[in-house]
Every structure is written in C-alpha cells, then in structure tokens.
C-alpha cells in the first residue's frame, strides 16, 4: 500500500492528535487505531490482504502480505487452524485461495502439533479438487512431499463420499500443472473398498472397467466417437451431470436446453448469455424461453439462493450488452429475459441482512462517473454501480443518509420505492465537477449527523480539496464523539490511498465485483 501524501491534499495545518492507549503512528505520520494480529489474520483470510484492502483482481499471495499469519502460527497454531476452517466453511472468504495459502503456511512452518492440525483440516478447507490443486501448489513452496503431506492428500481422496469423489474427478481435472493422476501417485492413495480403488484407477489411466458409478459412466459416454449434441443431451438428462463434464464441441442447443431444467438458479443467471448464444433463448423456442423466464422470476427460489442483487445486475448488464465479458461470442438479447433479470434484481433485496448501523453513503457524481467502467464487472458503469448500492442500502437499512459529492455536497432523499433507472437518472443530474472524497464526512461533521460507518463509492482517488478523507474522519470522530468507520470503494482505480489501513476502522476496496457488498457488510458488522 503506497504511503499517504497528505501534504498534497492539505493547505492548512491542524493541531496534532493526542495519543491514547489504542492509537499508534500511521503511514502519514499521524495516529490511528491499532490493528491486532487476529484482526489482521481475519482480514487476510477474507480479503487476501492483511493490510485492510480488498483487491477485486487476482492479488499475488505472499508471505510478505501474511506476516500476521506467520506470527500467530508460531504462537497459537491450533487456534489459527480453527480460524481458517471457520472462515472458509462459512463462505466469508471472497476467494478461498487465501484460506488455502494460510493453511499451507501452517502446514509448513508451525510446530508438529500445528502441522498435523493443518493437514487434518485439509478436507474442510479444500472442498473441491480445484482447492486441492491450489493447496498443493502453495504447500510445495513451504515444505516438501513428506509423509504428512502424502497422508493428508491420500486422506482427501479416501474420505470423500464416492458420488462426490466421482464428480470431483471428472468436473475438476487439473489446475496449476497438477492433475489427479499426479496427486494419487505421489500420495500413494489406497482404499479398503474396491469401488473407490476403481475410481482411483480411472483417474490414473482412464479405465472404467468394473465401475458402476453413473457420473463416471456418463463422463465416458460423452467422449464416445460419433456423438452429437442431441445424443449428449440425452446423457445429460438421464444423469443430471453438470456442463463441465460435456466436451466443448458437444455443448450445443440440445445440451443447453436440457440444462435449463436441471441446473441451479445461480448457474442459470450466470449462463443466460451462453443459452442465447446457443440459440436456446429465442422466439423459436417459446417453451424454453418461458421456462427460463419463470425460473428467473421464481421469488421463492431466489430468496432461497441468497443471491445479492448485484449478481443479478451484473448478469443483466452483460446479457443486455449482447456479448461476453472476454469477447467470447455474441447473442441477440431476448426482451423476455432482460425483463426477468430486471425484476429479479428488485426481488433479490430480501437476501440482504440489515447492519443495524447508522450509515452514510457518499456517492461520487463527478463528471467521469458517467464514462468509467467498473473494474471487475464488464459493461457496468460506475454511476450504475453507485445507484445499485444506494438502492440496496435504501431498501434494507433503517434511515441511511445519502450524500452525493463532487467538490460540493448534495444531500439526496432516496426512497426504497425508487427504481434503479430513477436513481441513476438522479445521480446524472447532480454534480458533474471534480472529486473530493472528504466531502460526505465534512458534511456530516458540519451538520452534526451521527454516523457509525461512512461508505464512499468513487471512480478514482481524491484530488481536490484541503482535507484528506483520513483527516476529515479523524476530525469527525473528535467533534461527534463517535468512532466512525470508513469504507472507500474505488470502483475504477488500480491503486488507492483513501483509507489508512493501519486503522482497524478503515477498509479499502480496489475495484468492484459481486463479492464487494458482502466484504463491506462483514467490515460493518466488525467481523474483519
């Protein structure tokens, strides 16, 4: 994290803040709330960085950004393992890679008891074959293939239920240069039951002799010569297998049509573009079109899925654009599906848990917000993302405060009954000047508005004004007597320095993706 240069933002010097028992010198030469090692550990496991910054893009995981893990695994390795397992299993980690990395660190550097605990916990943290391959890659950098690692990997294969193991062997075949054949050979995995050993044999040499498992047999059938899309669809239908088992050349209209009936709702949301590209969601297929639209509009299923509205908005934006995120083909959007995704977006707000905190959302309305794309969600404009999060907050929180800003504040009275189009239109009519991200905090200070958490959505670093957001927050805390938190979300920036990450009550988010709302929620609730 780059050092804050507050002299760039400050024209008037302020009186120094007095130190307290909980305050330590920060990167800017001031004082901030200290972050203890356990908080830093949780931040690393959830964010992938212990410095209080969540990077939407793939962050390189190194020992340098996991120093708290190293310190704690030497002092309390068993407690560290428990924390890793708890956060990974609960789904709190934005990317499970951080939990796998930390577990590999414990397995490589802790005492014997800690190493044993880490390796025993492997099936709890590495719940898919992809996770296993990732863990082994990390473990290689911390330790060799000793007896403990071999036994742990073998246990992963021998302890998993047979049906689930068959799915893992076929759905996730390799990653990071590792494959099941390599790991089975290195771990010397052997089972007491013949059915499992036959699965091992299949993974090593592809033999299906003696195997009765339907997933393996379906996988094999899908690779027979002379198969076409229609025949593949029959196999998928009879065995309810995921699309990952189907060779790419057989993923045609019939296969996708079958999957619309079997696949989960979240898969359906993510793949409406592929379905249209395959010719399934067209007026020539009215029954399938209606089926998918009905499934997308199933409020009970949507509520059960716990999908955040942002995931539906992201799917809507991509689908409406008519082309894939990475240029992977194009399609003609169906108005029926567009309407269904739009309606689902509004229905999904029930899945959000209110924080119970006094929130103030700072919404950047500078001129660039209309043209900047959000880093992490292709096709989504920064202004749309701002409006979506404002609407989500308005619908679930009690009396949140909304302050739009450029170089001036604009207090907005947003209603839970408004639609996204209305909110985005309102933001477009407001402001349009430069960017001073301290404005919402200063507005709340000057108007004596009690706030527990400031959340600032912007497309870039602040550059205007005489007070940095960190300074404004410090002043607000002193004036109001509230130890307010600050979340800065730079939706279209590569680097930010808006928050002081030595302060446990500040969080940086770089980029913006469908995990961002949950990351913010965890921070507001005090979990990281």
pLDDT of 245: 93
Burial of 335 (0-12, 13-18, 19+ CB in 10 A): exposed
| CATH number given to 356-524 | 3.40.50.410
Q: Angle of helix 77-89 relative to helix 112-120, nearest 10 degrees?
A: 20
Question: How far is the CA of 507 from the CAs of 364, 411, 428, in angstroms?
Answer: 17, 24, 27
Question: How far is the CA of 291 from the CAs of 29, 280, 286, 287, 388, in angstroms?
Answer: 60, 11, 8, 6, 27
pLDDT of 5: 38
Convert 231-248 to b/e letters by CB count within 10 Å (16 or more is b).
Answer: bbbebbbebebbbebbee
Please list the pLDDT of the chain residue by residue as tens digits (528 residues). Answer: 333 333 333 333 333 344 444 444 544 444 444 567 888 899 899 988 887 888 887 678 888 888 999 999 999 999 999 999 999 999 888 889 999 999 999 999 999 999 999 999 999 999 999 999 999 999 998 988 899 999 999 999 999 999 999 999 999 999 888 999 999 999 999 998 999 999 999 999 999 999 999 999 999 999 998 899 999 999 999 998 899 999 999 999 999 999 998 889 999 999 999 999 989 998 888 999 999 999 999 999 998 888 889 889 989 988 988 887 666 678 999 999 999 999 999 888 877 888 899 999 999 998 888 777 788 787 788 899 999 999 999 988 988 999 999 989 999 999 888 999 999 999 999 988 888 889 999 999 999 999 999 999 987 655 556 778 888 999 999 999 999 999 998 887 555 456 676 678 889 888 888 888 889 999 998 888
Q: Map out the domains of the chain as residue ranges.
A: 40-217, 223-349, 356-524
- Type and span of the H or E element at 401: strand 401-405
| Token pair listed for 378 | 């292709």
C-alpha 271/C-alpha 278 separation (Å) is 11
Question: Cα–Cα–Cα angle for 504, 96, 379, nearest 5°?
Answer: 85
* Of 236, 285, 244, the residue nearest 261 (C-alpha): 236
pLDDT of 20: 44
Considering only CA atoms, give the Rg of the chain: 26
pTM score above 0.75: yes
| Token pair listed for 242 | 């995921």
pLDDT of 462: 53
C-alpha 374/C-alpha 318 separation (Å) is 12
Distance in Å from the first CA to the final CA of the chain: 18
Q: Which DSSP string corresponds to 182-233?
A: HHHHHHT---SSHHHHHHHHHHHH---TT---HHHHHHHHTTSTT--HHHHH
CA 472 to mean position of chain CA atoms: 30
Are 483 and 506 spatial neighbours (Cβ–Cβ below 8 Å)? Answer: no
Question: Cα–Cα–Cα angle for 399, 402, 404, nearest 5°?
Answer: 175
User: φ, ψ for residue 454 (rounded to 5)?
Assistant: -95, 130
């Amino acid at each position: 994290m780059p050092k804050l240069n507050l002299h760039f933002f400050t024209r008037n010097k302020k009186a120094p803040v007095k130190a307290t028992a909980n305050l330590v010198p920060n990167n800017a030469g001031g004082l901030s709330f200290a972050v203890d090692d356990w908080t830093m550990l949780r931040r690393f496991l959830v964010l992938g960085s212990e410095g209080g910054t969540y990077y939407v893009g793939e962050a390189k995981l190194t020992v340098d950004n996991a120093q708290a893990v190293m310190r704690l695994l030497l002092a309390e390795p068993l407690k560290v393992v428990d924390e890793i397992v708890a956060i990974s299993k609960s789904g709190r980690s934005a990317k499970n890679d951080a939990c796998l990395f930390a577990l590999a660190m414990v397995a490589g550097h802790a005492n014997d008891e800690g190493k044993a605990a880490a390796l025993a916990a492997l099936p709890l943290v590495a719940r898919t074959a992809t996770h296993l391959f990732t863990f082994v890659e990390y473990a290689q950098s911390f330790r060799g293939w000793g007896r403990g690692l071999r036994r742990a990997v073998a246990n992963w294969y021998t302890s998993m239920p047979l049906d689930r193991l068959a799915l893992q062997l076929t759905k996730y075949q390799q990653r990071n240069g590792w494959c099941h054949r390599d790991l089975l050979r290195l771990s010397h995995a052997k089972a007491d039951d013949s059915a499992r050993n036959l699965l091992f044999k299949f993974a090593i040499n592809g033999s299906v002799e003696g195997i009765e498992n339907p997933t393996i047999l379906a996988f094999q059938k899908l690779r027979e010569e002379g198969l076409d899309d229609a025949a593949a669809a029959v196999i998928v239908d009879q065995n309810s297998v995921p699309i990952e088992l189907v060779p790419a050349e057989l993923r045609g209209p019939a296969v996708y049509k079958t999957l619309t009936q079997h696949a989960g709702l979240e898969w359906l949301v993510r793949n409406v573009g592929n379905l249209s590209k395959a010719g399934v969601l067209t007026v020539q297929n009215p029954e399938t079109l209606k089926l998918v639209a009905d499934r997308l509009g199933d409020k009970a299923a949507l509520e059960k899925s716990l999908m955040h509205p942002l995931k539906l908005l992201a799917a809507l934006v991509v689908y409406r654009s008519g082309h894939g995120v990475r240029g992977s083909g194009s399609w003609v959007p169906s108005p029926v599906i567009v309407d269904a995704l739009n309606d689902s977006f509004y229905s999904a707000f029930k899945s959000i848990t209110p924080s119970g905190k006094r929130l103030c959302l700072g919404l950047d309305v500078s001129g660039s917000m209309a043209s900047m794309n959000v880093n992490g969600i292709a096709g989504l404009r920064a202004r749309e993302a701002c409006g979506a999060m404002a609407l989500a907050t308005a619908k679930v929180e009690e009396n949140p405060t909304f302050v739009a800003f450029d170089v001036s504040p604009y207090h907005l009275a947003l209603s839970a009954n408004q639609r996204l189009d209305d909110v985005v239109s309102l933001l477009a009519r407001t402001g349009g000047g430069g960017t001073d991200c301290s404005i919402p905090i200063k507005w709340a200070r000057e108007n004596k508005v009690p706030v527990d958490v400031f959340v600032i959505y912007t497309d870039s670093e602040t550059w205007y004004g005489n007070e940095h957001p960190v300074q404004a927050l410090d002043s607000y805390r002193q004036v109001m007597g509230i130890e307010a938190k600050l979340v800065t979300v730079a939706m279209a920036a590569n680097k930010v320095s808006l928050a002081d990450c030595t302060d446990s009550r500040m969080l940086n988010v770089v980029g913006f993706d469908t995990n961002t709302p949950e990351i913010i929620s965890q921070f507001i609730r005090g979990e990281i």
